Amino acid sequence: MNSSTVLLILVLLVAAGVAVAVVFAVRRQLWKGKIRELGWRYESSPSLASAQSLGVPPFGVGISRKVDNAIVGRTRSGWAFQSLEYTYTGGGPAFDDRVAMVSLPLALPELYVCSRATTPRRTGVRWPEVTVDPAFGTVFGVRAAEPGYATAVLTPQARQQLVDWARTGPVDLSIDHRSLVALGAPKDPDELTVFVDRLAGVAAAMDLGRLGGYAIADKVPGYGFYGQDWAWVGVDDSLIPAFAGIDPFGVGTGRRTSDVIRGTVRGVPMTAFRYHWQTTHTETSTDSEGHTHTRTVTDHHQQPIIALSLPVQVPDLSVLPEGLLRRRRDIDFESQAFNEAFTVISASRKLAYDVIHPRMMEFLLAARPGRFCFHRNLLVAYPASHDTQLISQTTDFLTSFLGRIPEFVWRDLGATQPLSVPTPALGR
């Protein structure tokens, strides 16, 4: 192939690329023009604040959250609506979908309605399924705190609206404070017009007068976490000195935190974050002429950390799954099954035997946790990822562990009163 042929191919490829870009640009301008014709407003880079008055799944879930391509307007029947692309990661399965919501005149408790033919995409919903109407229940699943509220929301007229909607495709709705939210909203303006009209039809069929007795306070806008007393901090490197002396703190350089979350779990203060540090090593290579070259390589590390704050200092005690640390066992217990499953290392043998009593061993063998340790006034765990679902599961375990420590242990450690932690259902 000669140079002129190669040049021609390159020119054709560039021209094809330009043509495709022009087509996409024209289509996008036509799309924006249609939005304007409908009297709506388009926001190409909306602020996350536009979704922070929402707080039930898929909102209020995950570490990283993003919104994009928002459309704001009114339905043909006059209901204010918003549609946007919403994405989160770090909260169990990732979520990425277009949602639409119409504004309600009052804030209401959460409720979910999902057609049976639809795979639910709302991670962590805490309410069970309730029965509103047997016939309706063959087509839809409803989840709410109690059946009476669900029945008040889903009037016969609202149920008929939903049944008619389900004949055209999947339906996945929720009530989120002052919004009726639907997943799977289309991007095409004509299709979105029909979609939000259906959503407004459901809202209009609700008996808002009867629902006044169920009204709740508006959500305070902010980066909250569904079902948790947690707050987003972001960065707090002042945390790092409290962990000095345990792995991996004190190693390397460039030590910092990110994605810090702080709050309480069953009354116990909790902090979760990513810990970052750097180490260097040298690499030596030989080129084709036999010359040796050495270079320094920087390795970047991170470890998710979860820590519960305790009212007293506790001697260091570590519990590690067997195989994570291959070394001479420091402390043996009466249970051979426990000895084979875990390695326990402690500065105080008495503390180890007081804390790891027979019922605690049974609990740990059933729970099979990853490594965790007491350090100063902290109970520290090392989850595999920084994920709100995993943080919740890990703190359920940690509080269950604390709740099983005998009262005399806390008194011996100098607590003014025994640490009393309600045992979560997961740990029973």
Residues 68 and 56: their CA atoms lie apart, in Å, by: 19
319 with 204, same domain: the answer is no
Contact criterion met (CB below 8 Å) for 422 and 403: yes
Q: Would 98 be classed as within a structural domain?
A: yes
167 plus 260 within the same structural domain: no
Q: What integer pLDDT is reported at residue 86 of this predicted model?
A: 96
Residue 223 lies in a domain: no
Residue range(s) defining the domain that contains residue 298: 229-427
The residue among 214, 248, 277 that closes a domain is 214
- Give the per-residue pLDDT at 2: 65
pTM, to two decimals: 0.84
Q: 320: how many CB neighbours lie within 10 A of its CB?
A: 18
- Whether residue 15 lies inside any domain: the answer is no
Report the DSSP pairing between strands 95-115 and 129-130: unpaired
Rounded Cα distance between 357 and 344, Å, is 12
Pair (343, 411) in one structural domain: yes
Domain membership of residue 33 (yes or no) is: no
139 lies in the same domain as 181:
yes
Q: What is the pLDDT at residue 5?
A: 65
Asked whether residue 11 is domain-assigned, the answer is: no
**Amino acid (one-letter) located at 80:** A
What single string gives the DSSP state of each residue in 277-345? EEEEEEEEEE-TTS-EEEEEEEEEEEEEEEEEEEEEEEEEEEEEETTSS-S--S---S-HHHHHHEEEE
Q: HSE, CB side, 13 Å, CA atoms: give it for residue 33.
A: 6
- Is residue 119 in some structural domain? yes
180 and 243 co-located in one domain: no
The strand pairing partners of 234, in sequence order, are 260
Q: How far is CA 80 from CA 50, 83, 189, 196, 275, in A?
A: 14, 11, 16, 10, 43
pLDDT means per 10 residues, the chain with 428 residues, are: 63 56 53 84 91 94 95 96 96 95 96 89 90 94 95 96 94 97 95 96 92 93 92 95 93 94 95 95 79 84 96 95 62 92 92 96 96 96 95 96 94 82 52
What pLDDT shows up at residue 227? Answer: 92
pLDDT value, residue 159:
96
323 with 248, same domain: the answer is: yes
Q: Look at residue 426 in the predicted model and tell me its pLDDT.
A: 40
Do 98 and 241 lie in one domain? The reply is no
Q: Are residues 204 and 236 in the same domain?
A: no
Is 371 found in the same domain as 290? yes
Last residue within a domain, chosen from 214, 244, 271: 214
What total number of domains does the chain contain? 2
Q: What is the pLDDT of residue 400?
A: 95
Confirm whether 220 is domain-assigned: no
Q: Which residue among 214, 248, 275 closes a domain?
A: 214
Inside any domain, residue 370: yes
